[in-house]
């Protein structure tokens, strides 16, 4: 049967099926096709020393459990955990470490993660080195005696550098480090880091998994028993859990993950190629362009390139013009939703990263980041075209 791989008596579903049907998929008690929102803080015990499996929603809630099992299944992990935001998820993972520990981190990364590491966790005695994780030797060279983990974003935000997750996971394993991958940009639809040897996957579910720019969420997935126990302990002790309604929104978003990403990527490839030919555009960063440095590794380890594009304009004055003139594309922070969004990393997503470091990695004042949505690609190109057009006032400045 198409879409199914039968292994012995186990039916292994393809990911397009898994996203639609989730874990249980429907409410086993009533048959409701839309998994119910169990809006209850606590649960009645049938008797002394008895439990329905649910005691108190900080510990576990049926709607959260459905989301946690769904994401675990999509990432091919044993256990998933849902948090109130991507940052809460990343923060939970950092609590696995102790004062004096050292973590190697991708130097081109989400600004909020950098801020969490430098402004919060440094104060608790953790140390971080920021290296170009697309160069395995650089990572190897950064390993110190007290290094405990490698934290990778791939493709990186905003410069779309691609890291070889298999090579890095194998290096980590040899040196006794944990490999943590922020898989927000590609999602398990395109990339499953645990299958490549990573130990922990984190997500900002706010982005592609939710997909509608309407909910904050974070997720952590792992297959290792020791890690499962520790993460569960941190989650229930700290309580930064995702609320039932928000779990339901993410579950609903995930149902259309494959069709959304297919369309977003299709649009992104067309737009990246169009931008590249535009006279006002200098450089286009998109992992799906065959001459992109990470193209081959992307093809090897992922089934898609995603729909995030960064580009630099030739004249810095065009930045303000583009941000003001776009009509369909919205000038807003965030990414991954059905609406196309454009951001200016140096003042938005990456403002927390010091100028010197931004300059070193190439996040300049001419760089814009585009999250491609599911609109008509013709309309998106028309919108970018009118926004990039030489205005008379723009011409004057250049004369």
Ligand X SMILES: *Cc1c(COP(=O)(O)O)cnc(C)c1O
Where do we find the tokens 């439990």?
Answer: 51
Q: Buried b vs exposed e over 215-246: b needs ≥16 C-beta within 10 Å? A: bbbbbbbbbbeebbebbeebbeeeebbbbbeb
Q: Which is nearer to ligand X, 157 or 235 (CB)?
A: 157
* Min dist. Cβ of residue 116 to ligand X (A): 9
Strand partners, 102: 127, 147
Which residues in this chain contact ligand X in the complex, by CB under 6 A?
Answer: 85-87, 110, 112-113, 153, 157, 182, 184, 204, 206-207, 216, 218
Q: Buried b vs exposed e over 145-182: b needs ≥16 C-beta within 10 Å? A: eebbbbbbbbbbbbbbbbbbbbbbbebbeeeebbbbbb
Q: Which is nearer to ligand X, 134 or 157 (CB)?
A: 157
Q: Tell me which H or E stretch contains 227.
A: helix 225-238
Q: Which is nearer to ligand X, 107 or 182 (CB)?
A: 182
* Min dist. Cβ of residue 209 to ligand X (A): 10
Tell me the CA distances in angstroms from 78 to 9, 21, 183, 269, one per residue in order. 20, 18, 17, 34
* Min dist. Cβ of residue 109 to ligand X (A): 7
* Min dist. Cβ of residue 126 to ligand X (A): 18
Q: Which is nearer to ligand X, 54 or 117 (CB)?
A: 117
* Min dist. Cβ of residue 23 to ligand X (A): 22
Q: Which is nearer to ligand X, 62 or 337 (CB)?
A: 337
- Chain residue whose CB lies nearest ligand X: 86
Neighbours of 384 (CB within 10 A): 25
Nearest to 212 by CA among 81, 28, 335, 85: 335
Tell me the CA distances in angstroms from 311 to 114, 273, 387, one per residue in order. 22, 11, 14
CB 370 within 8 A of CB 240: no
Which residues are part of the catalytic machinery? 58, 110, 182, 207
């Amino acid at each position: 049967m198409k879409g199914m791989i039968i292994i012995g008596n186990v039916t292994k579903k393809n990911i397009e099926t898994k996203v639609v049907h989730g874990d249980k998929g429907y409410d086993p008690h009533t048959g409701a096709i839309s998994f119910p929102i169990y809006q209850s803080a606590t649960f009645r015990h049938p008797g002394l020393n008895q439990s329905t499996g649910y005691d108190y929603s900080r510990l576990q809630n049926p709607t959260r459990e459905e989301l946690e099992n769904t994401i675990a299944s999509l990432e091919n992990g044993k256990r998933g955990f849902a948090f109130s935001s991507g940052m809460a998820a990343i923060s939970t993972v950092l609590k696995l470490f102790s004062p004096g520990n050292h973590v190697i981190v991708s130097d081109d990364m989400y600004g909020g993660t950098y801020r969490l590491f430098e402004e919060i966790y440094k104060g608790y005695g953790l140390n971080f080195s920021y290296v170009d994780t697309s160069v395995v030797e650089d990572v190897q060279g950064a390993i110190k005696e007290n290094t405990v983990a490698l934290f990778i974003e791939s493709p990186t935000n905003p410069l779309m550098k691609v890291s070889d997750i298999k090579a890095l996971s194998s290096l980590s394993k040899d040196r006794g480090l944990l490999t943590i991958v922020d898989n927000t940009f590609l999602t398990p639809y395109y990339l499953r880091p645990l299958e490549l040897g990573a130990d922990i996957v984190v997500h900002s579910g706010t982005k592609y998994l939710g997909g509608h720019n309407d909910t904050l969420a974070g997720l952590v997935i792992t297959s290792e028993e020791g890690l499962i126990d520790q993460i569960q302990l941190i989650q229930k002790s700290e309580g930064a859990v995702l609320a039932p309604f928000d779990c339901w929104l993410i579950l609903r978003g995930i149902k259309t993950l494959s069709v959304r990403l297919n369309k977003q990527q299709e649009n992104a490839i067309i737009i990246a190629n169009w931008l590249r030919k535009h006279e006002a555009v200098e450089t286009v960063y998109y992992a799906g362009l065959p001459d992109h440095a990470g193209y081959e590794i992307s093809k090897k380890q992922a089934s898609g390139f995603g729909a995030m594009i960064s580009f630099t304009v030739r004249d810095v004055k065009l930045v303000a013009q583009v941000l003001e003139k776009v009509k369909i594309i919205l000038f807003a922070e965030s990414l991954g939703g059905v609406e196309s969004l454009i951001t200016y990393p140096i003042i938005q997503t990456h403002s927390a990263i010091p100028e010197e470091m931004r300059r070193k990695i190439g996040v300049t004042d001419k760089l814009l980041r585009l999250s491609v949505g599911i609109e008509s690609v013709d309309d998106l190109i028309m919108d970018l075209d009118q926004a990039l057009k030489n205005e008379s006032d723009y011409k004057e400045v250049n004369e």
